[in-house]
């Protein structure tokens, strides 16, 4: 059975290269993978970036969290996080788009990865390109307690 206890935060970010007018590269980076003895100490942060194309008016990306429990004979399985479901959209006419997502209180032991789906749209709103990239794996190896945080 898949288990995940977490608080999800979304943070928009601009990379230093993007802030200086340079286009960001198409990338997904596991920025933080924190382990610990208690659930609040276990988290991951992933950053995604995408450049605009010559005919791009707007861009969007969607983050999907995947989990693999120890002893599982299957591959990673998607963990549905309602706050992560919507497509995050860029402002119109920007040269690139950078966004971060965080999940806290990860279940342990387990492995996690994030798949980011990218889309580019022209001025008429027609999708012109789609791609997907996957982060490195965040390993939660602690055999610690998995308590539900108080809300």
pLDDT in tens, the chain (151 residues): 344 444 343 344 444 444 446 789 999 999 999 998 888 999 999 999 999 999 999 999 999 999 999 887 778 999 988 888 799 999 999 999 999 999 999 999 999 999 999 999 999 999 999 999 999 999 998 665 544 432 2
User: Tokens standing for 68?
Assistant: 């693999």
Helix (H, G, I), strand (E, B) or coil at 83: helix
Residue 14 CA, chain-centre distance (Å), reads 15
The rounded distance, in Å, linking the Cα atoms of 79 and 147 is 18
The pLDDT of residue 95: 94
Give the model's pLDDT for residue 21: 62
Token representation of residue 109: 């032991």
DSSP alpha helices (H): ranges in 2-113?
16-19
Residue 85, pLDDT score? 78
Q: Which domains does the chain have, with CATH numbers?
A: 8-140 (2.60.40.3590)
The span from the CA of 96 to the CA of 150, in Å, is: 39
């Amino acid at each position: 059975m898949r288990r995940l206890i977490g608080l999800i935060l979304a943070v928009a970010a601009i990379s230093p290269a993007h802030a200086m007018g340079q286009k960001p590269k198409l990338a997904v980076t596991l920025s933080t993978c924190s382990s610990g003895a208690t659930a609040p100490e276990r988290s991951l942060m992933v950053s995604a970036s995408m450049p605009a194309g010559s005919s791009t008016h707007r861009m969007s990306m969607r983050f999907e969290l995947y989990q693999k429990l120890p002893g599982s004979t299957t591959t990673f399985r998607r963990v549905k996080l309602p706050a992560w479901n919507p497509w995050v959209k860029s402002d119109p006419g920007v040269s690139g788009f950078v966004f971060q997502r965080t999940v806290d209180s990860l279940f342990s032991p387990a492995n996690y990865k994030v798949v980011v789906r990218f889309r580019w749209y022209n001025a008429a709103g027609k999708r012109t390109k789609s791609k997907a990239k996957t982060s490195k794996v965040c390993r939660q190896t602690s055999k610690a307690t998995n308590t539900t945080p108080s809300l």
